[in-house]
Structure 1
Amino acid sequence: MTWIDIPANSPFGPGNLPLGIFRAGDEDPRVGAAIGDQIIDLAPVAHQRDDSQVFAQPSLNAFLALGRPAWQATREWLLDLVRNDDNRSDIEPYLIPQSAVTMLLPFEVADYVDFYASEHHASNVGRLFRPDAEPLLPNWKHLPVGYHGRAGTVVASGTEIVRPSGQRKAPADDAPTYGPTQRLDIEVELGYVVGSPSTLGSRVAVEDFKDHVYGVVLVNDWSARDIQAWEYVPLGPFLGKSFATSISPWVVSLDALEATKVPLPPQEPAVLPYLASDELTNFDITFEVRWNGQLVSTPPYKEMYWSAAQMLAHLSVNGASVRTGDLFASGTVSGAEKNQRGSFLELSWGGREPITVNGEERTFLQDGDEVTITASATTPDGTKIGLGEVTGRILPAN
């Protein structure tokens, strides 16, 4: 319960309270917490707290660096603010309509790593590109496959995406050509935001995941499939991925998602000890993908094969350190059904099965197209924890 008026079906109920960075008019950017269709301006509300300055910053990095005890204490403080009617007179002057502000990139991205954790997605891609071979490569069920992306091109939701250009070579072509991608795609992903760093040469154990990761954001990892197909052998994705990755403005804490956890699907064969735990979980999150406003897919996160704790353990097992502001993403989230596929590559089956969008046939993105991804997690009692949205519109190539 809360004394704040919250619209029906709001993604940001009193048990959520995600954090983000907003700008009101010409004022300096600072930290806010979402509640209903409003924002609590935390900088003035927190003026008597010892850590008040972290809420006056233009990114969440200073707050993220405080570590898990401070994250938990802040959540308890926020919950009291919105649930205790005695706080009403102190907080109401600092409630701002979300419609009156501009949301910015929530944190400065230190490093960006993208995984490939959905068995359904990996199997679909294998069938598309290796139809005469096993869909999964031999290593896939032994380790969370991933690659290092480009932190400097992670952008805030709403940023327009310029169609990238690069080398492409279709199988029937004699030589590569240069030009704008003709197979521009999306990838529906969940991103994990690192707060507490680790030491170079050490590793983060599966059991220590929550000591390092504060929360999650929605990710759209835009992909130029024709550029990617020509370049990725033998070293993996590069220019087909690095031009832009969009993230949602609100960071939802792991504590807010705690009640939405579900068991991880069985992993066969058994994983190596550094990836093993009796407490591996997923979140019961369902995404919705809208292409020019039309719902085209509803990928379920609970079916992901690799857990986020395993991704972080594998990322650091060689001694690679993690830093405050690191972002690592799940890879494309896809389910078993066609309407649960998290990329247009899969939905159109490599471009061979067009999708009807508002009466027009589509395979890959055209200039002017807009994609919006939303998501919510569900608790056992039916409470929804919204993750907000990430959106982007395609501009012509330069």
Structure 2
Amino acid sequence: MTWLDLGEDSPYGTANLPYGVFSRGDGSPRVGVRIGERVLDLTAVLDDSVFAEPSLNAFLAQGRARWSAVRARITALLTEEEHRARVEPALFPVSEVTMHLPVLIGDYVDFFANEFHAGNVGMMLRPGADPLPPNWKHLPLGYVGRAGTVMISGTPVARPHGQRRVTGAAAPEFGPCVHLDFEAEVGFVIGSGSRPGRPVGVGEFADHVFGVCLVNDWSARDLQAWDATPLGPSLSKAFATSVSPWVVPLDALEHARVEPPARDPEPLPYLADTEKWGLDITLEVRLNGHVVSNPPFATMYWTPAQMLAQLTANGAAVRTGDLYASGTVSGPLPAQRGCLLELSWGGHEPISLPGGAPRAFLEDRDEVVITATAPGAAGTRVGFGEVSGRILPAR
């Protein structure tokens, strides 16, 4: 038990200890750990200059043994009364700090790993045909995104411009996106990199991935329908990707590990499961304060370990600070669909917000907030913070 007064239901107890980068006033950004509604300044309590850096990258590069040692030390500082006098002055209210992008993003890859999402999209786009592409159950599909457009939660998102095809028109037109959407996703942060030419096996997942964050892969659906063929999403995805400020260590998610869904056909040997890396994470999506979806990550067909194996199967290396995301998380029920494209069934069945306001896609000034929790040790819940963004008019 910690000597802090956290309350019984805090999702940020010592079973969690998520990392982030914060600043106070005009001070420099530095690394901290969240405990309850406070941030522990690691620069002040740990003898390692990596925590004075403006990103987690230097710490992540130290590897799993160091990650475990630091977690154990922080736990001791927050649970043993003898450390209280030294630690208390280094604790600051979350409400009084500014959060920054937690890692300096190297490469960013987004997957398409949820069967319910892929199936729903396929039914909309290819009615009467097999909703899944022929390769979908043989490998986790993904696309390389634009790392420079990954932004911290709370950053406003300007409605993007691009080309779209208008029914009956001889040529596409250029203008602001009309069908703007969110995608509720889970992201994975690379800590230890890999060597070029050496794939990372499924069983090596925990040696390379430091932790988990929340992701909103904003999507311009009308632009996507035109620019995604034949090479996949381009400008329709690469204008903004929001991430949560807190990175939950894999060590905090041991009690959230579950068996993934049954696979048919069996994956090829390099994607075969050697460890249980399904994760029982429940997301919640709010649109203008109203809950519109509760996507369950446990339904993911492909696990994050398999995504990493696929990401490196050709010998491509991963580096400290790389980020990859799951793709939209959806479940079997309508209330578990993780984007408006599914929730409104392509815009044909708009959802209703309080007061009867319909939404097929996002309108200017709409705000999307995604949160999540997972089972923790001793019956606790592990919180992931939130990833939020408000839509601004096209510029």
Q: Is the TM value for this pair above 0.5?
A: yes
Q: Which residue of 2 aligns with 1:191?
A: 187
1:105-137 deviations in Å (ceiling 9; x for gaps): 001000000001100000000001001210111
Contact 1:219–1:247 (CA under 8 A) maintained in structure 2: yes
- Counterpart of 1:9 in structure 2 is 9
Identity of aligned residues (%): 58
In structure 2, the residue matched to 1:132 is 128
CA drift at 1:252: 0.3
Q: Note the alpha carbon deviations across 1:297-333, whole angstroms, 9 max, x for none.
A: 0000001000001000010010100001000000000
Contact 1:11–1:388 (8 Å) recurs in 2: no
Alignment check: 8 A CA contact 1:39 1:96 kept: yes
Structure 2 residue aligned with 1:151: 147
Counterpart selection for 1:369 from 356, 366, 391: 366
Q: Return the alpha-carbon distance in structure 2 between the equivalents of residues 174 and 295 of structure 1.
A: 41
SS of equivalent to 1:322: coil
1:97 and 2:89 aligned: no
Contact 1:204 1:316 in 2 (8 A): yes
Correspondence list, 1:191-270, <5 A = 191-270=187-266
Other-structure match for 2:34: 34
Instruction: Compare 274-283 and 195-204 and name the one that shifted more.
Output: 274-283
1:247: Cα distance to partner?
0.1
**Letter of the 2:392 counterpart:** L
Indicate whether 1:108 and 2:104 are aligned.
yes
Structure 2 CA distance, aligned partners of 1:8 and 1:191?
28
Q: 1:380: how far off?
A: 7.6
1:396 is aligned to 2:363: no
Is the Cα contact below 8 Å between 2:33 and 2:42 reproduced in 1? Answer: yes
Matches of 1:153 and 1:218, distance apart in 2: 15
C-alpha distance in 2, partners of 1:152/1:320? 20
1:19 equivalent in alignment to 2:6: no
Equivalent position SS for 1:79: helix
Q: 2:309 — aligned with what?
A: 313
Counterpart residue type for residue 255 of structure 1: D
Match of 1:354 among 350, 353, 368: 350
Among candidates 76, 91, 104, match of residue 80 of structure 1 = 76
Cα pair 1:280 1:309 within 8 Å, conserved: no
Matched, 1:118 2:118: no
Query: What SS does structure 1 have at the residue aligned with 2:379?
Result: coil
- Partners of 1:181 and 1:226 within 8 A in 2: yes
The CA distance in 2 between the partners of 1:223 and 1:269, in whole Å, is: 31
Distance 1:174 1:9, change over 3 A: farther
Structure 1 range deviating more: 231-240 or 82-91? 82-91
Question: What SS class does the counterpart of residue 27 from structure 2 fall into?
Answer: coil
Instruction: Tell me how far apart the structure 2 counterparts of residues 231 and 177 of structure 1 sit (CA, whole Å).
Output: 12
Structure 1: where are the runs of 5+ without partners?
A: none
Q: Distance in 2 between matches of 1:171 and 1:124?
A: 22
Offset, 1:378: 1.5
Instruction: Name the counterpart of 2:59.
Output: 63
The Cα of 1:170 is off from its aligned counterpart by 3.3
**Separation (CA, whole Å) in 1 of partners of 2:167 and 2:309:** 38
Shift of 1:372: 0.2
Corresponding position of 1:282? 278
Unaligned runs of 5+ in 2: none
- Counterpart contact for 2:203–2:274, Cα < 8 Å: no
TM-score of the pair, normalised by structure 2: 0.98
- Tell me the amino acid that sits aligned with residue 80 of structure 1: A
Aligned partners of 2:15 and 2:376 also within 8 Å? no
**Letter of the 1:9 counterpart:** D
Task: Give the letter for the 1:77 counterpart.
Answer: R
Instruction: Select the residue among 308, 328, 332 that pairs with 1:332.
Output: 328
Any conservation in 1 of the 2:15–2:377 contact (CA below 8 Å)? no
Taking the aligned partners of 2:334 and 2:169, their CA distance within structure 1 comes to 31
- Runs ≥4 in structure 1, deviation > 4 angstroms? none
Post-superposition offset of 1:82: 1.2
Contact 1:105 1:249 in 2 (8 A): yes
Cα contact 2:11–2:380 (8 A) shared by 1: no
Is contact 1:67–1:196 with CA below 8 Å preserved after alignment?
Answer: yes
* Post-superposition offset of 1:357: 1.4
Q: Is the 8 A contact 1:191 1:329 kept in 2?
A: yes
| Aligned equivalents of 1:278, 1:209: Cα separation in 2 | 10
